């Protein structure tokens, strides 16, 4: 499945394909065949490669949405193919999480641009690189055309990262373990797979192997990109809790607990993690649960401190996102603001902001997941 | 002899004579086991067993009230939760009448207000009608209607697992939970590594959560001048066909009130009801999408999105997305009933009779004083209803009543 050759031994991906998809193993074979190594970057002959590699990263940081360019006339095929692994090395040497994510996304978006109009056999070949179980379908059902059938597990691995309704598996035609998809959809899912793959490549610790001269270029690159590569500051949440800013789901859970009504385990977890994240003290939350029919102080304390990250795994939990609350039947239905957020904390932060007139609060979108 | 001692002795005898009925899970050495004990009332977790004999000995020696094992596989099952080293997890579904509205309305369940002692039947209300208190003690019972409802949901689930998700009957294990529902477990190497988000997508798939008809063939087709609606057909694959079948089922019996609840206009509702037969007949051709004047894409969208609830499988959503879940071990007794959790091949799902095949105690009669219990069937015999009376009953009925705390033993011999 990792081979670029079909049954007859005929090459499916040409050199110009490898320019488009430099993450394919055949591109790496090509790099090996040319006996290219990092230290060669200092050789003046390879200056165009180093230059193109730097440009790949600069493009990722300066375009919006990020996308690495494709200029078959500006660079030779070999410069293009060699500059990809070189750029991975540079991105790793920059040792900045934002650069890593941005660069991987820019390369993946570039690939998406080609994939959406690519021939079926090439798409299947590229998907096979990532172990996808996919086949061409070419089927019309009523007024919808389906080009591919993809194993539902391979679908889920990528689609769960998208939040649009159309990507929910329940909104797809699923039959015999396969999800029926258009070419456009497969290209989009592959973009995600490519993005994660490139990110994982940048994770490798390569910095130690980089020659001194190249490191100087990395320092220059850092200066060029310094504006762009500042880390986003972490979210700050005020310690004074504003009940009126709670989203409907949390308001309901909060009043149910206050009244001593039974609340499911999922509901308790959601509420506790929410309250901790908006700044309520664990002690105050324990008092809140005191009215529950099955209150046991020892257990409640352990669980709340666990969610707060003070016990056990030491991870502080964030409350489930809206999708998950909906799955567990904890969402009461959206109000106006709900329609514009995907996470109960985002709702709270937005609403809380309007209660704090005059105060200068930086409010960031809470990261999904 | 008090109830607990009596039940524990019966469980002990059962395990001594039937320990090989226990279904030892695949890769036993990678599973976490958990037990609840009769006396202590607490869960003993993080147990591990290298071989089946050790597990069996443990159960015979300690006679737990409930036996659980993890759907997950770990490197070190005995370690603390965050040090176990999660290797993967089977895909697990729990269908329990507790989570499903049933035709019996759970009239056999009772609740008592903790505030004022007011009692009632069915599911506990939001607020006590007497004192407005919101906290209750609840007693549940298992009835044939509840079990039948759970079976129907299980059938819908298994259909989706096979037809849509493509699992083979060999990969799907069904069992009666020993109380008010069924368990369905998928053991396949492909699903082991699915994370919680992916499992949640599977939950949303089988429950129809977040579904929208516009992704299942409902659309306006036309050139601007003449526009007509297209929609899913009964025989379509996946949720497309299910959506159509759900609408068919809904419109077969929908009342004026049902339709108005969806927000349809009065005139439209009247036309739907007046044309019910034509609508049902239309499925053989192009479907009913263009038959009702004033009912366009948005109206049909509401009808389809509601029709979906007839086809969805009502599972416990939390259980499936939890990749660390402990589940009852097949071949062990349920502490709330004394019935066995028992597996059966999916081909038997239609005719499997839990109230016959899950009976664990087959011999002996005991005299008990029954406080209160509705009529119930075990095997071919129907018992009760009982109200503050003595009765001599077979051991399986006695254990059920004792486990439900509805009776106490008079005659002490098992």
DSSP output for A32-69? HHTT--GGGGGSGGGHHHHHHHHHHHHHHHHSSS----
Selection from A35-39, A191-195, A284-288 with the highest mean pLDDT: A191-195
CA separation for the pair A46, A31 (Å, rounded): 13
In this structure, what DSSP letter does residue B112 have?
Answer: E
Predicted confidence (pLDDT) at residue B402 exceeds the cutoff of 70: yes
Distance between first and last Cα of chain A: 32
**CA max distance for chain B:** 85
Predicted confidence (pLDDT) at residue A366 exceeds the cutoff of 60: no
Percentage, residues of chain B above pLDDT 70 = 99
Strand, helix or coil for residue B357: helix
Strand, helix or coil for residue A290: coil
Q: What angle do CA A215, A218, A224 make, to 5 degrees?
A: 155
CB pair distance less than 8 Å for B194 and A259: no
Residue-wise pLDDT for A127-165, tens only, equals 999 999 999 999 998 888 999 999 999 999 999 888 889
Q: Does residue A1 contact residue A7 with C-beta atoms inside 8 Å?
A: no
Q: Does residue A170 contact residue B238 with C-beta atoms inside 8 Å?
A: no
Predicted confidence (pLDDT) at residue A329 exceeds the cutoff of 90: no
Contacts of B202 in chain A (CB under 8 A): 156, 169
Percentage, residues of chain A above pLDDT 70 = 86
Say how far residue B169 (Cα) sits from the centre of its chain. 19
Sequence-distant (≥ 6) Cβ neighbours of residue A279 within 8 angstroms: A237, A238, A239, A240, A241
Identify the weakest region by mean pLDDT among A273-287, B20-34, B35-49: A273-287
In this structure, what DSSP letter does residue A168 have?
Answer: S
Strand, helix or coil for residue A29: helix
Pick among B101, B313, B317 to test the A interface (most A CBs inside 10 A): B317
Strand, helix or coil for residue A135: strand
Q: Min CA distance, B224 vs chain A (Å)? A: 17
Identify the weakest region by mean pLDDT among A182-191, B26-35, B136-145, B321-330: B136-145
According to the model, what pLDDT value does residue A355 have?
Answer: 66
CB atoms < 10 A from the CB of B78, how many?
Answer: 14
Restricting to B residues 288-347, those with a Cβ less than 8 Å away from any Cβ of A are: 317-318, 321
Residue B197 contacts A where some CB pair is shorter than 8 Å: yes
Predicted confidence (pLDDT) at residue A175 exceeds the cutoff of 90: yes
Helix residue ranges per DSSP H, chain A: 15-20, 25-33, 47-62, 77-94, 97-115, 120-129, 152-159, 183-203, 212-225, 248-258, 265-277, 282-289, 297-307, 322-327, 344-355
Torsion of CA B241, B245, B250, B253, to 10 degrees: 170
Instruction: Classify the phi-psi angles of B354: left when phi > 0, otherwise alpha if psi is within -120 to 50, otherwise beta.
Output: alpha
Q: How confident is the model at residue B252 (pLDDT cuts 50, 70, 90)?
A: very high
Contacts of B201 in chain A (CB under 8 A): 156, 159-160, 168-170
How many residues in total does chain B contain? Answer: 414
Q: How confident is the model at residue B286 (pLDDT cuts 50, 70, 90)?
A: confident
Identify the weakest region by mean pLDDT among A231-240, A341-350, B110-119, B122-131: A231-240
CA separation for the pair B153, B150 (Å, rounded): 5
Strand, helix or coil for residue B143: coil
Torsion of CA B391, B395, B396, B401, to 10 degrees: 40
CA separation for the pair A68, A61 (Å, rounded): 9
Torsion of CA B340, B345, B346, B350, to 10 degrees: -70
CA separation for the pair A341, A366 (Å, rounded): 10
In this structure, what DSSP letter does residue B105 have?
Answer: T
Find the radius of gyration of the CA atoms of chain A: 25
Restricting to B residues 61-100, those with a Cβ less than 8 Å away from any Cβ of A are: 80-82
Report the run of H or E that residue B356 belongs to, with start and end.
helix B354-357
Q: Does residue B45 contact residue B58 with C-beta atoms inside 8 Å?
A: no
Pick among B85, B132, B198 to test the A interface (most A CBs inside 10 A): B198
Predicted confidence (pLDDT) at residue A204 exceeds the cutoff of 70: no
Q: What is the mean pLDDT of residues B53-62?
A: 97
- Which token pair is B306? 């509601």
Q: What is the CATH number of domain B361-414?
A: 3.40.5
CB atoms < 10 A from the CB of A304, how many?
Answer: 23
CB pair distance less than 8 Å for B198 and A156: yes
Contacts of B194 in chain A (CB under 8 A): 153, 156
What is the homologous superfamily of the domain B3-97+145-202+316-360 according to CATH? Answer: DNA primase, PRIM domain (3.90.920.10)
Q: In whole numbers, what is the pLDDT of chain B averaged over residues?
A: 93
Q: Which CATH class, in words, describes the domain spanning B213-311? A: mainly alpha
SS (H, E, C) B197-220: HHHHHHHHHHHCCCCCHHHCCCEE
Q: What is the mean pLDDT of residues A190-215?
A: 83
Residue B200 contacts A where some CB pair is shorter than 8 Å: yes
């Amino acid at each position: 499945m990792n081979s670029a050759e079909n049954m007859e031994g005929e090459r499916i991906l040409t050199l110009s394909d490898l320019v488009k998809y430099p993450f394919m193993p055949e591109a790496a074979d090509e790099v090996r065949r040319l006996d290219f190594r990092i230290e060669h970057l200092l050789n003046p002959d390879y200056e165009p490669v180093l230059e193109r590699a730097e440009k790949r990263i600069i493009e990722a940081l300066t375009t919006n949405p990020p996308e690495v360019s494709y200029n078959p006339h500006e660079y030779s095929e070999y410069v293009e193919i060699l500059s990809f692994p070189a750029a991975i090395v540079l991105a790793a040497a920059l040792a900045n999480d934002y650069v890593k994510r941005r660069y991987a996304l820019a390369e993946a978006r570039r690939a998406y641009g080609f994939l959406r109009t690519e021939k079926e056999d090439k798409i299947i070949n590229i998907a096979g690189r990532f172990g996808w179980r996919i086949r061409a379908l070419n089927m019309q059902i009523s007024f919808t055309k389906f080009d591919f059938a993809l194993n539902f597990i391979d679908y889920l691995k990528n689609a769960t990262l998208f939040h649009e309704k159309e990507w929910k598996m329940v909104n797809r035609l699923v039959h015999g373990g396969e999800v029926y998809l258009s070419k456009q959809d497969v290209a989009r899912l592959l973009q995600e797979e490519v993005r994660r793959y490139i990110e994982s490549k940048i994770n490798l610790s390569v910095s130690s192997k980089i020659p001194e001269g190249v490191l100087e270029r990395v320092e220059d690159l850092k200066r060029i990109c310094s504006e762009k590569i500042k880390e986003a500051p972490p979210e700050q949440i005020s310690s004074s809790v504003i009940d009126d800013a709670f989203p409907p789901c949390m308001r309901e859970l909060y009043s149910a607990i206050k009244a001593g009504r039974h609340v499911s385990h999922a509901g308790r977890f959601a509420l506790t993690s929410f309250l901790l994240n908006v700044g309520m003290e664990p002690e105050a939350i324990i008092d809140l649960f005191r009215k529950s029919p099955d209150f046991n102080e020892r257990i409640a304390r352990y669980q709340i401190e666990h969610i707060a990250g003070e016990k056990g795994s030491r991870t502080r939990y964030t409350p489930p996102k809206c999708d998950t609350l909906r799955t567990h039947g904890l969402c009461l239905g959206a109000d106006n603001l709900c329609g514009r957020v995907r996470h109960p904390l985002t709702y709270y932060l937005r609403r809380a902001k309007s209660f704090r007139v005059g105060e200068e609060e930086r409010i960031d979108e809470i990261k999904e997941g | 002899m008090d109830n607990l001692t009596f039940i524990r002795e019966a469980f002990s005898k059962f395990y001594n004579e039937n320990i090989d009925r226990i279904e030892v899970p695949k890769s036993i050495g990678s599973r976490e086991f958990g037990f609840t004990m009769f006396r202590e009332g607490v869960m003993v977790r993080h147990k591990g067993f290298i071989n089946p004999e050790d597990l069996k000995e443990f159960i015979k020696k300690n006679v737990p009230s409930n036996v659980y094992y993890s759907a997950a596989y770990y490197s070190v099952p005995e370690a603390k939760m965050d040090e176990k080293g999660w290797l993967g997890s089977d895909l697990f579904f729990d269908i329990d009448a507790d989570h499903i509205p049933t035709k019996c309305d759970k009239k056999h369940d009772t609740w008592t207000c903790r505030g004022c002692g007011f009692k009632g039947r069915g599911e506990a209300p939001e607020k006590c009608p007497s004192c407005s208190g919101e906290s209750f003690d609840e007693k549940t019972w298992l009835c044939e209607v509840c079990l039948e409802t759970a079976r129907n949901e299980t059938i819908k689930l298994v259909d989706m697992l096979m037809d849509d998700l493509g699992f083979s009957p060999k990969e799907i294990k069904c069992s009666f939970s020993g109380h008010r529902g069924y368990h369905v477990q998928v053991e396949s190497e492909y699903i082991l590594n699915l994370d919680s988000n992916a499992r949640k997508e599977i939950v949303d798939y089988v429950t129809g959560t977040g579904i929208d008809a516009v992704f299942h063939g409902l659309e306006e087709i036309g050139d601007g001048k003449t526009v007509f609606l297209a929609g899913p057909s009964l025989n379509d694959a996946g949720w497309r066909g299910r959506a159509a079948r759900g609408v068919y089922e809904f419109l077969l019996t929908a009342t004026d009130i049902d339709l108005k609840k969806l927000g349809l206009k009065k005139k439209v509702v009247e036309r739907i009801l007046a044309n019910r037969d034509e609508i049902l007949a239309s499925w053989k051709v192009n479907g009913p999408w263009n038959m009702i004047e004033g009912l366009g894409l948005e109206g049909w969208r509401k009808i389809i999105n509601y029709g979906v609830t007839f086809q969805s499988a009502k599972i416990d959503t939390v259980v499936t997305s939890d990749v660390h879940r402990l589940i009852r071990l097949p071949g062990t007794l349920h502490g709330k009933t004394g019935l066995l959790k028992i597996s059966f091949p999916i081909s038997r799902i239609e005719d499997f009779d839990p109230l016959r095949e899950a009976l664990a105690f087959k011999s002996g009669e005991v005299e008990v004083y029954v406080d209160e219990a509705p009529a119930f069937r075990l095997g071919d015999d129907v018992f009760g209803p009982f109200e503050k009376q003595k009765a001599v009953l077979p051991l399986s009925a006695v254990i059920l009543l004792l486990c439900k705390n509805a009776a106490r033993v008079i005659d002490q011999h098992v």
